[in-house]
Amino acid sequence: MILAAENVRKSYRDQPILRDCSLRASTGQCVLVRGPSGGGKSTFLRILALLEPANSGTVVHGEQRWDASRPCKVSPYPFLTVVFQQLFLWPNLTILQNLSIVLSHRPNDVLPPSSMELLERLNIAHLLDHRPHECSLGQRQRVTIARALLSKAQFLLLDEPSSALDRANTSILIQELRFARAHDRGLLLITHDDRAYDELADQCFELEDGRLQET
Amino acid sequence: MRELFSLIVRYHQALLSGALVSLELAVIAWTGGLVFGTLLGIWRASYGRGLRRSSIALFSLSASSIPVMVYLLWCHYPLQTLLGISVQPFITAAVVFTVYNTLTISEVVRSAVEDLAVAFSQVAVATGVPRGVYVRYIMLPLALRAALPGYLVSQVGVLHMTLFASLISVDELFRVTQRINAIEYNAVGVFSLLALFYFVLSFPLMVSSSVANDHLAKLGLER
């Protein structure tokens, strides 16, 4: 399975953010996109996920090709899912409900043992009855990562997934991502300067001045 | 204090009947406004598009630009003359207050739904949560919570609005107290009673609105 962007262009108020950006990732592979803050990485990720239109270009999800310049009303799931930098857990639901509604589309289902094991490994199993505002930023970040890992998506797009994690939790996250990659899931990681993922990455790109270049 | 108590004892039946009429009007407008206003607000935020959306917004803004008292008088006298019908003042007042409250609540709900972070729905899209599940478990509860403080404050306004019904001869509390004052010549006592009635009903709503706002701040949804 392939996730690709072909010649994606995007401008805000005549200011080019992305200039002919192309990238290709396969399942079982980890692609790292690095670049300075405000450089358009998150915009690129949102365009790849069909959540925001570009000015031109094409996005490829497996067999499907999408004109990136057209607003798309189709859910990218289960081809891919996204971990947003701002997390966006639903504040009216508990952590369990935030997970359950994604996994079973019902808010009060019991999580299967395999899911509980992942939550244990991420040190968030004790938070199931808490609401997001009762958790720390790092805990909320791990919940959104768990939400993505527990989903059936073939590609995980992660925007600064360890920005609020300490070193120990970042190591745990990398282990889980390595496990996901080993199980033939594709990873697209976006980070501004974090070197923690270097050993995980199969391909590295640098997004600077709107241009995406393999490094 | 003794004076107030004495007024209550002597006119308790008239006061009670006036208070009940005021409350009936308020409850009708609250209930109708809550049901129709919520539905209209959600519809406006979710499905009202293009010309339809602009027309409803224009109608709502125009309708809110005219004082409710003018509607009340207009619906009671000229409209009924034009249509050649005669409707009981209580029904006219109940309908006018309900329509007015429906428009007010629809605006509160519409802006609450539209102000919800777009990202909440995008997370649902990106995680494969179906639209119906998102609306039922996430959008509606969040929007209604966000709308609650504004809703409570506007309902205090509706309660106070019932005073205008006296202008078309509805025997609500204000009209009753005016009549008692005409007998007693005790404006301080009579109108203090009126103030007390509205205070007892309005103050808890205002406090609830403030508490709801504090709760929303914790969830990051304060308005």
Residues from chain B that touch A101, judged by Cβ atoms under 8 A, are: 129, 133, 137-138
Total number of residues shown for chain B: 223
Residues from chain B that touch A81, judged by Cβ atoms under 8 A, are: 126-128
The angle subtended at Cα A23 by Cα A19 and Cα A29, nearest 5°, is 155
Query: Considering chain B, what percentage of its residues have pLDDT values greater than 90?
Result: 44
Task: Return the pLDDT at B48.
Answer: 59
CATH of domain A2-214: 3.40.50.300
pLDDT in tens, A8-53: 999 988 889 999 999 999 999 999 999 888 888 999 999 999 999 9
Residue B73 in tokens: 């008088």
CB atoms B125 and A88 under 8 Å:
no
Residue B56 has pLDDT above 80, yes or no: no
Residue A68 has pLDDT above 80, yes or no: yes
**Chains A & B: contacts with CB separation below 8 Å:** 69
Mean pLDDT of chain A: 90
Residues from chain A that touch B218, judged by Cβ atoms under 8 A, are: 133
Instruction: Report the alpha-carbon distance of residue A44 to residue A37 in Å, rounded.
Output: 13
Residue B33 — pLDDT band, cuts 50, 70, 90? very high
pLDDT in tens, A82-120: 999 888 899 999 999 999 999 888 988 888 998 999 999
Task: Return the pLDDT at B133.
Answer: 93
Mean pLDDT of chain B: 87
Residues from chain A that touch B115, judged by Cβ atoms under 8 A, are: none
φ, ψ of residue A153 to 5 degrees: the values are -65, 145
The angle subtended at Cα B53 by Cα B46 and Cα B60, nearest 5°, is 105
Residue A123 has pLDDT above 70, yes or no: yes
C-alpha distance from B25 to closest chain A C-alpha (Å): 34
Query: For testing the chain B interface, which of A42, A47, A92, A93 should be mutated: the one with the most B CBs within 10 Å?
Result: A92
pLDDT in tens, B106-127: 988 888 888 777 788 888 999 9
pTM for this model (two decimals): 0.76
